[in-house]
Amino acid sequence: MEASKFNRRKFITRTTLGTLGAGLASAGSFAAGNADTIKEPPSIREYRKFGDTGFLVSDFSCGAPGNEAVLRALLERGVNLIDTGETYMNGNSERIIGRVLQDFDRSKIFINSKLYTEKEFPPKKEVLERSYQAMERLQTDYIDCMQIHSAEDSRILKDEAFHSAMEQLKKEGRVRHVGVSCHGNNWAYDTEESLDTILMSAIEDGRFDVILLAYNFANAGIAEKILEACDKRGIATMIMKSNPVHIFNIFEGRMTKLADEGKEADAFLQAYYDKYKLMEEQAGTFFAKYGISAGGDLKKAASRYVLSNPLAHTTLWDFQNFDEVDNMLQLSGQKLTANDKSVLNGFSKHLGHTICRIGCNDCEAACPHHFPVNKILRYNYYFSVKKQEKRAMTKYASLNLNKPPELCLDCEGYCEQACRYGVWTRPLLAAARKNLEMI
């Protein structure tokens, strides 16, 4: 696919330089030792029909890139879809892609970009202008797919300025497909919709060729219905949040601090701490049973779960360094194993209440204060799972919450009672606040 054919020695040199220059993790096993003993680095082993777009897409694709060397390595190893958006790193994610694209065959790479608006798009002229600016940053004449970024209700799917601009750009050959991404709605301020109702509306609308959604073993009930509907309409699917797992440990530190200060925990904290200790014991037994010592096995099992579904055409991954490139690409083409199933079932049973599925929104609908539970837990996901601390904190700050978190302490926990998955929203919210406000 690449203009400069993949060259292992060149890649190793780049990898080493990248490690020194950018402080990235080492290139792992294949970069060590002499060239004769170097193993072939993992690369993409499976390509899939990408809906009716006419493109064959790699099963793993690149989430908004933040590093040129890592992006080059991915393209050299067969990744052929790059996701980005005007808001990522203030346009610098698109600029990185633009610089790297110059060394590759543009026609073999699918660029997915996005335009964001909170309520409605500005007039068509401005949508066009923002699209041309994205192309300038990307140093390309066309964008394969332009998406509405994070649609928060189904009204935005009908936005005339957006669609009229996209129609013109398609006629000009500057945009080839139109899409939408969604994390559920912003119920706290608006209508009562959720991830599935918004995306089902997008599918019904008929103007969207590509849909980007969260899909993982924990939200399969919601996401797989959407994937099946996309399949019937020939809509291409991109997957985010394929690994929802993080183990939260918010209590130990707080309890220790209180003990050091000679204080007692309040009833709220004590009740959760007791539940947490029980959960920890159950989880410990589960981890010991499957010999799981770190998150790695879970991450692999979670990835294989998504890769095993042919209706999930490509899985985005935010590759942070060369170790991740190796670790994730070695999973390309793999399918769920019997052991993976046991691991994921065990995880759901013992720790399912620590994962917000993001987007179903029962919690927010039940909150008397319209606390944006879904968004806060999503930003905490960016912080805790994706390790994008700055991005998570900036997004959290932009919520301008003027409701004190103490509201949750005096509340009956309506959000928890309403959550169809029994997610422990209150301690998760406490953890999120601790992370996102750095308290």
Distance of CA 78 to the CA centre of its chain: 21
Of residues 192 and 281, the one with the C-beta less far from ligand SF4: 192
Contact 340/217 with Cβ under 8 angstroms?
A: no
Active-site residue 290, yes or no? no
Of residues 54 and 422, the one with the C-beta less far from ligand SF4: 422
Of residues 94 and 362, the one with the C-beta less far from ligand SF4: 362
> Is residue 131 within the footprint of ligand SF4 (CB under 6 A)?
no
Q: Residue with structure tokens 């990522």?
A: 88
Taking the complex as a whole, how short is the minimal distance between the CB of residue 359 and ligand SF4, in angstroms?
Answer: 6
Distance separating the N- and C-terminal Cα atoms of the chain: 48
Of residues 319 and 381, the one with the C-beta less far from ligand SF4: 381
Taking the complex as a whole, how short is the minimal distance between the CB of residue 202 and ligand SF4, in angstroms?
Answer: 19
Contact residue for ligand SF4 among 156, 199, 358, 431 (CB under 6 A):
358
> Is residue 6 within the footprint of ligand SF4 (CB under 6 A)?
no
Contact residue for ligand SF4 among 423, 430, 431, 432 (CB under 6 A):
423
Give burial (CB, 10 Å; 0-12/13-18/19+) of 399: middle
The contact pattern for ligand SF4, residues 376-415, with x = CB under 6 A and - = no contact, is -x-----------------------------xx--x-xxx
Contact residue for ligand SF4 among 202, 230, 360, 392 (CB under 6 A):
360
- The window from 21-29, 112-120, 123-131, 357-365 that contacts ligand SF4 (CB under 6 A) reads 357-365
358 φ/ψ sector (left φ>0, alpha ψ -120 to 50, else beta): left
- The window from 110-118, 161-169, 345-353, 362-370 that contacts ligand SF4 (CB under 6 A) reads 362-370
Of residues 236 and 365, the one with the C-beta less far from ligand SF4: 365
Q: How many residues bind ligand SF4 (CB under 6 A)?
A: 24
> Is residue 148 within the footprint of ligand SF4 (CB under 6 A)?
no
> Is residue 421 within the footprint of ligand SF4 (CB under 6 A)?
yes
Give burial (CB, 10 Å; 0-12/13-18/19+) of 12: middle
CB atoms within 10 A of CB 342: 14
> Is residue 351 within the footprint of ligand SF4 (CB under 6 A)?
no
Q: Which of 315, 337, 317, 302 is nearest to 47 (CA)?
A: 315
211 φ/ψ sector (left φ>0, alpha ψ -120 to 50, else beta): beta
> Is residue 93 within the footprint of ligand SF4 (CB under 6 A)?
no
> Is residue 348 within the footprint of ligand SF4 (CB under 6 A)?
no
Contact residue for ligand SF4 among 250, 356, 392, 432 (CB under 6 A):
356
Residues 195 and 199: their CA atoms lie apart, in Å, by 6
Give strand ranges (E) for 187-235. Answer: 210-214
Q: Which of 222, 220, 217, 224 is nearest to 243 (CA)?
A: 217
Residues 355 and 381: their CA atoms lie apart, in Å, by 9
Query: If you write DSSP's letter for every residue of 237-278 in order, what string do you get?
Result: EEEE----------HHHHHHHHHHTT-PPPHHHHHHHHHHHH
Bridge partners of 240? 214
Catalytic positions, written as ranges? 88
Positions in the binding site for ligand SF4 (CB under 6 A):
356-358, 360-363, 367, 369, 371, 373-374, 377, 407-408, 411, 413-415, 419, 421, 423, 425-426
